[in-house]
Amino acid sequence: MVALQKEQISTEALASMLEEKLSGWKQIVILGIGNEFSGDDSLGFQAARKLKRALSNISKVEVLAVGVAPENFTGLLRKLSPSHVVLIDAAEMGEIAGKIELIEPHRIEKRMPSTHTMPLYMLAEYLEHELGAKVLILGIQPESLSFGTAVSREVRVSVDKLARLLVEVINRG
């Protein structure tokens, strides 16, 4: 999970921003990030499962559930040579549970602790520099990150909404 400096956007604005950020894609890799055993922190895994099924017919889209150490997949990303990388993770934004945001890496608070071995802003900067890929971070406000708990209803609904939105945008692209 990442901590984020606050800035709200509407669902319509998010859809528009995704279309703009993903325009001209040639190869997309989507990384579902988080701890699959810690409540809402597993939302990246949930999103990856849904997206993998929904996008399986598109050869230039790869969806991976990468856990809490997405940097361990940089070798595979280098081989895939994506034009775009989408990171999906829980993000502490001080919002209501389930709020979805497109997060610019520079907006992630660098002094806050992270549940990842490498902070996502560093991973995003690395991928942009090393792969020349556009990197998008999609965060969903968690309700609970407690170990052994289920994903909250609000986050489950948002994961479904985000998955549908990404599928629509990618299919139009």
In the predicted structure, residue 7 carries a pLDDT above the cut 50: no
Provide the token pair at 165: 């939105």
Query: What pLDDT digit, counting tens, does each position of 70-95 carry?
Result: 999 999 999 999 999 999 999 988 89
What CATH class does 7-172 carry? alpha beta
Q: For position 110, what pLDDT does the model report?
A: 57
Average pLDDT, the chain: 88
In the predicted structure, residue 1 carries a pLDDT above the cut 90: no
In the predicted structure, residue 4 carries a pLDDT above the cut 60: no
* Whole-structure pTM value: 0.89
68 vs 2: which has the higher pLDDT? 68
Q: For position 117, what pLDDT does the model report?
A: 57
Provide the token pair at 41: 């922190």
Query: What pLDDT digit, counting tens, does each position of 82-131 carry?
Result: 999 999 999 988 899 999 999 887 666 654 445 555 788 889 999 999 99
Tell me if 88 sits within 8 A of 162, measured CB to CB: yes
Q: Where are the domains of the chain?
A: 7-172
Where would I find the H helices in 3-152? 11-22, 43-54, 74-80, 120-131
Q: For position 11, what pLDDT does the model report?
A: 74
Average pLDDT over every residue of 35-47: 92
Tell me if 118 sits within 8 A of 69, measured CB to CB: yes
Task: Please give the share of the chain, as a percent, with pLDDT higher than 90.
Answer: 68
Q: For position 148, what pLDDT does the model report?
A: 83
Tell me if 173 sits within 8 A of 25, measured CB to CB: yes
